[in-house]
Structure 1
Amino acid sequence: MAAHRRALTTVAVLAAVAAAAGACTTTPQPIPGAAPTVTGPSSTPEPAPGQVAGVPIPDGRIDHAVGRLDAIAADAMAAPDVTGMAIAVVHDGAVVFERGYGTTTAPAGAPAPDAGSSGAGGSEVDKDTVFPVGALSAPVSATVVATQLTGGRSWSTPVRELMPQFAVADPYVSEHATVGDMFAGTSGLPEDAGTGAARIGVDRQSFLGRLDALPLAGFRTSARPGALGPTIAGEAAARAAGTDWATLSDRSLFHRLGMESTSYRSRDFAADTDSSASALVAADGTVTPVDRAWADAVAPARGLTSSVHDMAAWMRVVLAGGMSQGLPVIPAEPLSAALSPQAVAPDTEPANAVDARGVARGFGFNVTDSAAGRVVITGGGAAGPDAAGGPDSAMTLIPSAGIGIVTLTDAVSTPARPVAAAQVVNAEFTDLVQFGDVQRDWKAWFTGTPSAGAGAPSTSTAGPSGGSPAPGRISGSQENAPLPAFDGVYTNPFYGEATVRTSNDTTTLTVGTAPETYRLTRTGDTAFAVTPADPAAPRAEVFLRAHPDAAVSFDGDALTIGFLDQAGAFRR
């Protein structure tokens, strides 16, 4: 009994001590305006500061944006250069929108259909209509190459390890240029040279064997992606796999994702019964299909053809970190690197503005931050070296929102008539997703029209459009020289031969292994304007729109061709 009383006394004392301690403890008061302290275990880890968006997306916002797509597409289709368009949207792993508008491209000479209608000889565009996707080929190629970056290979693997024949003008660059350099545009190679060679019939194997003839800019000093780098990297990956590029793409990615309408072969596109060629629409409404068979030579960068249904399957996997139906299709590490900033783009607008959000290059993708504080990943567009005769197509991903949109059209953008319908559709849609309203006149911005205001970028970032080359020194023997004085065969180590011939006071220039012939009209002692010799030829209208001021000049035995100037002069 005494022991029981002592136990109770001990308990009472301990209780009193605890009460006294509690009375002396002050409960912390929240700071006015501060968020209350969260205690207890959390089922989800707190995101890193860089993963927190500045503008939240409320429930229903994305559904609202999807509901506006028909109206957005109708506005884009009102442009006379757009006769067919298709759009697909994916959200949180599901395809939530797939639709076509207008018609497939009619035969040459047929009148263009009314915007949004289905007449004029073309079939209706739908989700399965196959379009050339132009510059959007490169991001898809990056994911194909990513499937090969296993077993110790990575974006840092030198190209020469995969393709020992790779050689450029600088031995150091030949040894150290990596697969990643090719997709980020940091190799220093003139990125327009590949499309120039392809357009005059030089095949891929030929110009890849002539890379050492190209001048190099600074190695890893700027990021200027174009067609040449992805073509080199894609070919290297294919050779290392013991196959060709198109077959590698089919077996490593397209077949595994059910992308049965997608191909890097122009013959597959030509054989598809539901395809729509890129087309030029003239002022009188006639439609001229654009021949893109040349793109086979630079297929990893410019030669893909696909439907929005297939591209939606691809976007789902990219947003899912390379997973499809619970299985890895694209290795997560190289995919993540491809979608991340690797080099600063030199053409960020406005130039030299310290308060401007920068644009970076991933491996095949463009990466930037939106005004909402979200990472935005893009690909395609009608800008760059493919703008001349290049399809207007675009893809935009916002990983933090689980959203992706792809827009394909049959429109062709040229310096004379810039078209950015696909980019406008994507920009307006992503504005609606992030802000609830369209934030600016995106058509004016992308096409560089005056209503966009000062600083609006041009859609072409490819440099000269093939206009007047530098006049150079006028040789005494060429001043006021008769036209036959310029005749001869001129050779360039990268592009091959160019033949100048005068007959009956008419001087012509013939270039390429699939010869293209142009008429030269004298504009100075040694300067000539260039126009197609046959204005009715299939490629003539494309050339005239792409190079409205095309010119050549002579300097002794040197011939400079303005639209083939990435490898220096041709020499007689």
Structure 2
Amino acid sequence: MRRQASIGRIATLAVAFTALTALTACTTAPPYAPRAALGEIPPQDAVQLADGAFDAALEQLPEEVERILEASGVPGAAVAVVQGGELRFAQGFGVRTLGEEAAVDEETVFQIASMSKPIGATVVASQVSAGVVDWSTPVAPLLPGFALADPWVTDHLTVADLYAHRSGLPMAAGDELEDLGYDRAYILDHLRYQPLQPFRISYNYANFGMTTGAQAVANAAGVDWATLSERELYEPLHMDSTSSRYEDFLARDNRATLHAKTGDGAFAPLYERRPDAQSPAGGVSSNVVDLAKWMSLVLDDGTFAGEELIAPSALAPAIAPEIATGLPPVPDARAGFYGYGFNVGTQPSGRVTLGHSGAFILGAGTNFQLVPALDLGVVALTNGAPVGAAEAIVSEFLDRVQYGEATRDWLAAYGAALGHYFEPAGDLAGERRPADPAPPRPLADYAGTWQNPYYGEAVVAVDEAGGGLIVRLGNGGATELELEPWDGDVFAFEPDGENAPAGSRSSAAFVLGGGSADASGAGAAGDTMTLNFYDTSGLGTWTR
């Protein structure tokens, strides 16, 4: 169900396709050894670069991007390459919006989704460098009233735990509240209801876990997160087209439109995605020229244009492996690791890579990879739902640099790996209504006001015009679902939003103690309504 945060985990697919290798997890990292320049003799465990491979890869890059866009159907992309602290390539391809003539160029601003996480990690590193916080700073004292389900975990939870996705929160915790229109304050306050997995040994990708850590850092700095990011990162790097506010993205004339996949596999500009609630984890908008500056900062250990903006000791833990993201299923596979906001691994060439993908099912796919040993970074931003185009562009380019040719059809590989994100969700998806269903009770018996400590109030009412039931839930009842009879006290509904691809269908199961609601909206003791789509963590039951 929770595809928005799950899709952020696309970056961990590099475990399979860029062959990450096992490294020892640590909370601090030693200083880096001097890095090899392009063309120098590599360490014994790294593949020697082919002569002229970098220049040849740059020359082939435009053709590669055009081919991947055509094969995938994604409307547009922008790509940049940095090496040795210099911008070596920046170009746009395709169009900003299907059906319109405006072309993507290197200045076009995209929503970069979960690529916001490593950018936010560098903002945190700036505050570690300045002594405002440390990665090991507990967050509860910085977040008045904040709690998780376990008081001991609440007391010991640190910024590092949240940026490494090792808090114990379930995958995607809080995403469903965002889908229902709740703001950041409500979502962070209600994480206390989420059941926890073992602390610091469970990796679960959670946008609002990381957002909790970022909010704690912003509170320590005394400003809101978007302002902190602007002050400490975007302005010093002259990232003039970058913001952590959605309203700033809308204010850009040269911006890319989201394109979702349609039922026939094509793309169309169908949705908006307002990610301010999870801005530290998914709300940055930027262009490849700005992101090239940020990649150069990370590659130079926190220094940009000769000025140290972040101490290497503050940045190093973020780009070191802190927790395993997945254990290898077979002996010859490599494990994957996460730092603080960065995926960390090793390519088959033997070189360490840092990277992350970002995606909105509603229409964005992004990816970057850094190869510190080569002082090399590449980023690809696309305005189509995540079908692997961004990852394919980056992976094929790095193949050509290191091996002189592509090692596989990366678009096909990533497309196959990501295909399940577009599968319908819900327990009734693809199911047929029973041939001889039991009739429901009189619809008024289900009407009333229902309460849930996590999701808040839901109001079930008889739809006089449609002759069925409707349920309104979420912030201010903004989300309205039509309930259609399925079998007895079980109804069916079609969820909508980031986490519900086309064809999704779920059950609404009522258990009534008898009788209809009274004038106050109260029903008999024990009346419950379970919306299966919202019950992944066991929190989807309302009482009347």
User: What TM-score results when the alignment is normalised by the length of structure 2?
Assistant: 0.82
1:286/1:220 CA distance change after superposition, 3 Å: closer
Match of 2:330 in 1: 353
- The equivalent of 1:379 in structure 2 is 356
2:441 paired residue among 458, 481, 499: 481
Aligned to 1:8: none
> 1:407 is paired with a residue of what secondary structure?
strand
1:522 pairs, out of 455, 464, 485, with 485
Aligned to 1:194: 174
Q: CA deviation at 1:466?
A: 4.1
Residue equivalent to 1:242: 222
Q: 1:506 aligns with which of 437, 443, 468?
A: 468
Structure with max Cα Rg = 1
* Cα offsets for 1:217-265 (capped at 9, x unmatched): 2211221222112210111111111110100000010000001111111
State how 1:77-156 maps to structure 2 within 5 Å. 77-79=69-71, 81-105=73-97, 112=98, 120-150=99-129, 151=131, 153-156=133-136
Maintained 8 Å contact 1:87/1:127 = yes
- Residue by residue over 1:326-371, the C-alpha shift from the partner in whole angstroms, topping out at 9 and shown as x without a partner, is 211122123111111000013x5xx521221110011111112111
In the other structure, the counterpart of 1:548 is: 504
Is the partner of 2:293 in helix, strand or coil?
A: helix
Superposed displacement of residue 468, structure 1: 4.4
Cα distance change on mapping 1:209 and 1:46 into 2, 3 Å: closer
CA deviation string 1:135-164 (max 9, x = no partner)? 111111111111111427322221124334
**Match of residue 292 from structure 1:** 273
Of the candidates 494, 511, 529, which is equivalent to residue 531 of structure 1? Answer: 494
The structure-2 alpha-carbon separation of the partners of 1:512 and 1:226, relative to structure 1 and needing over 3 Å to count, comes to same
How far apart are 1:99 and its partner, in Å?
Answer: 0.4
Partners of 1:342 and 1:188 in 2: CA distance: 15
Quote the offset at 1:166 in angstroms: 2.5
CA drift of 1:79 comes to: 4.2
Worse-matched range after superposition: 253-262 or 545-554: 545-554
Match of 2:366 in 1: 393
Alignment pair present for 1:435 and 2:403: yes
**SS of equivalent residue, structure 1 residue 78:** helix
CA change 1:92–1:561 in 2 (3 A) is farther
Equivalent of residue 304 in structure 2, options 324, 328, 331: 324
- The counterpart of 1:402, out of the listed 375, 389, 392, is 375
Residue pair 1:137, 1:380 contacting (<8 A) in 2 also:
no
In the alignment, does 2:163 pair up with 1:183?
A: yes
1:570 — aligned with what? 541
Native 8 Å contact 2:288 2:379 kept in 1: yes
2:540 aligned with 1:560:
no
Per-residue Cα deviation, 1:462-507 (whole angstroms, up to 9, x for no partner): 99944449x9xxxxxx985344333232222222222222224312
Question: Percent of aligned positions with the same letter in both sequences?
Answer: 35
Moved more, 220-229 or 156-165: 156-165
Q: Which residue of 2 aligns with 1:205?
A: 185
SS, match of residue 344 in structure 1: strand
* CA–CA distance in structure 1, aligned partners of residues 44 and 422 of structure 2: 35
Matches within 5 A, 1:225-304: 225-280=205-260, 282=262, 283=264, 287-293=268-274, 295-304=275-284
| Contact map agreement 1:146 1:330 (CA 8 A) in 2 | yes
- Between the aligned partners of 1:211 and 1:445, the Cα distance in structure 2 is 36
Structure 1 residues 81, 544: closer, same or farther in 2, change over 3 A? farther
Uncovered stretches (5+) of structure 1, i.e. residues with no partner: 1-43, 106-111, 113-119, 414-418, 449-456, 472-477, 533-539
Residues 221, 241 of structure 1: CA spacing in aligned structure 2 closer, same or farther, 3 A cutoff?
Answer: same
Name the SS for the 1:211 alignment partner. Answer: helix
SS at match of 2:462: strand
* Higher RCO structure, 1 or 2 (CA under 8 Å, sep 6+): 2
Match for residue 365 of structure 1 among 330, 333, 342: 342
Change (3 A) 1:286 1:463: closer
Equivalent residues of 2:72, 2:389 under 8 A apart: no
Q: Relative to structure 1, is the Cα distance of residues 436 and 45 closer, same or farther in structure 2, using a 3 angstrom cutoff? A: closer
Closer, same or farther: CA 462–63 of 1 in aligned 2, 3 Å: same
